């Protein structure tokens, strides 16, 4: 039976994440929203603190970088045991940190989305060798849209190296990270099965950060365009197996998304929760009482709208927790990861924009952070697969159809 209660052993971690968000991220949120592309120096101390706690094992593996799922088969002794473990701890702690500031969470050293890719597909030797790296993730290309299978960046074997050529855009932490997980194809004629991910260090010859993007939201997080021109990468830095398996197809690379989509859902849940908490306070100051014990239709329009938003938010949170819980209990969660990402992305945008409207001039001005959260939340409905792509994936899974059968 699924158990979505917050484990007692992780309650301290979640409370600690909330305290960090409230006391360290929220106070500098506006500063770095205005100072786009300026690195938040305050994060170095916070990252060192997180590293220290992680080394003690107190976090159970939680962090923005994601966690690696256990691959050992269940024994008869633990077949009936319910695990609320590291994946659940990760999404809950990330939601709390994004209650403070999503862009600053994305800027955290050694907590990049590329770290989730490493956790998903790297072998044991690579996990140890890449420990401590700060990895961005480079998937999107000009002209490929949301179809990750349509990648044109190539990786050609040359002796003990692969030579990578191509261009990647919208790479989160692409300038600040010390390495980049790059998706490239070994053979374009073989389609999806030939797509592999490589860890490319920023000092590798042939890698060039071309520009930083100016964005609507998450302005504290750098977003880069990167080119690879005859960029040589040691063969040992291809993540996972170099073999092209037509039977598993794209599954190896796509396993990354099963790890990262619940994390992005958690970001949307945290940002939306921040908007709801502040909106409740502002409405109460204006004399609007929100009563959870009375039917919504018997309350004011503002209170009724708030109750609807809160109920929608709770649905997103539960889907996020379900996807993480399934990963902890070694159950395939591709469907649930996409459902969580789709729901949370849509709810995040709806909640934050609706909170701006409910609060009127206070919501629209820079006097409060509501307008910033509305700008930040939009990207969470776009990256790691847009709303439409998630719905397409869910439809394929529910109907049992392949990508060729349902486009």
Return the active site residues. 384
In this structure, the strands spanning 207-212 and 223-234 are antiparallel
CA-based radius of gyration for the chain: 21
Instruction: Find out whether 387 and 345 touch, Cβ atoms under 8 Å.
Output: yes
| 3-state SS, residue 71 | coil
Residues in the chain: 407
Instruction: Find out whether 120 and 67 touch, Cβ atoms under 8 Å.
Output: no
- Give dist(CA 331, CA 339) in Å, integer: 15
For 319-359, the DSSP string reads HHHHHHHHHHTT---HHHHHHHHHHHHHHHHHHHHHHHHHT
**Residue among 317, 376, 307, 292 nearest 26 (CA):** 376
Q: How far are the Cα atoms of 40, 167, 236 from residue 201, in angstroms, in the given order?
A: 22, 16, 13
Instruction: Find out whether 103 and 32 touch, Cβ atoms under 8 Å.
Output: yes
User: Residues near 350 by Cβ (< 8 Å), separated by ≥ 6?
Assistant: 309, 312
Instruction: Find out whether 132 and 175 touch, Cβ atoms under 8 Å.
Output: no
């Amino acid at each position: 039976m699924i158990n979505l209660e917050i484990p007692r052993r992780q309650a301290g971690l979640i409370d600690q994440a909330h305290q960090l968000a409230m006391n360290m991220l929220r106070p500098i949120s506006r500063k770095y929203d205005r100072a786009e592309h300026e690195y938040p120096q305050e994060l170095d101390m916070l990252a060192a603190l997180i590293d220290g706690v992680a080394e003690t094992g107190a976090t159970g593996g939680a962090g923005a970088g994601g966690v690696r799922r256990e691959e050992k088969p269940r024994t008869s002794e633990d077949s009936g045991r319910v695990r609320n473990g590291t994946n659940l701890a990760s999404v809950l702690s990330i939601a709390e940190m994004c209650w403070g500031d999503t862009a600053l969470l994305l800027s955290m050293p050694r907590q990049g989305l590329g770290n989730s890719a490493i956790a998903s597909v790297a072998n044991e030797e690579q996990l140890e060798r890449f420990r401590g790296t700060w990895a961005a993730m480079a998937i999107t290309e000009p002209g490929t849209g949301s179809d990750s299978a349509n990648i044109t960046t190539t990786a050609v074997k040359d002796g003990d190296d692969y030579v990578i050529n191509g261009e990647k855009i919208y790479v989160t932490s692409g300038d600040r990270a010390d390495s980049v997980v790059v998706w490239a194809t070994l053979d374009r004629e073989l389609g999806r099965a030939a797509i592999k991910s490589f860890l490319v260090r920023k000092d590798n010859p042939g890698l060039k950060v071309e520009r930083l993007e100016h964005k609507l939201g998450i302005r504290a997080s750098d977003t880069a365009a990167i080119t690879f021109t005859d960029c040589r990468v040691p063969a040992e830095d291809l993540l996972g197996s170099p073999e092209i398996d037509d039977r598993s197809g794209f599954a190896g690379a796509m396993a990354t998304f099963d790890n990262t989509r619940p994390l992005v859902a958690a970001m949307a849940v945290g940002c939306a929760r921040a908007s709801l908490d502040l909106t409740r306070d502002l409405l109460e100051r204006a004399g609007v009482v929100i009563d959870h014990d009375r039917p919504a239709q018997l309350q004011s329009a503002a209170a009724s709208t708030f109750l609807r938003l809160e109920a929608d938010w709770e649905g997103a949170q539960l889907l996020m927790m379900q996807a993480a819980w399934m990963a902890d209990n070694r159950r395939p969660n591709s469907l649930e990861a996409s459902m969580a990402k789709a729901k949370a992305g849509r709810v995040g945008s709806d909640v934050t924009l609706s909170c701006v409207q409910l609060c009127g001039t206070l919501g629209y001005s820079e006097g409060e952070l509501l307008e910033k959260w509305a700008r930040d939340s939009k990207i969470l409905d776009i990256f790691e697969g847009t709303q439409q792509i998630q719905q397409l994936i869910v439809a394929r899974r529910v109907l049992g159809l392949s990508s060729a059968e349902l486009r």
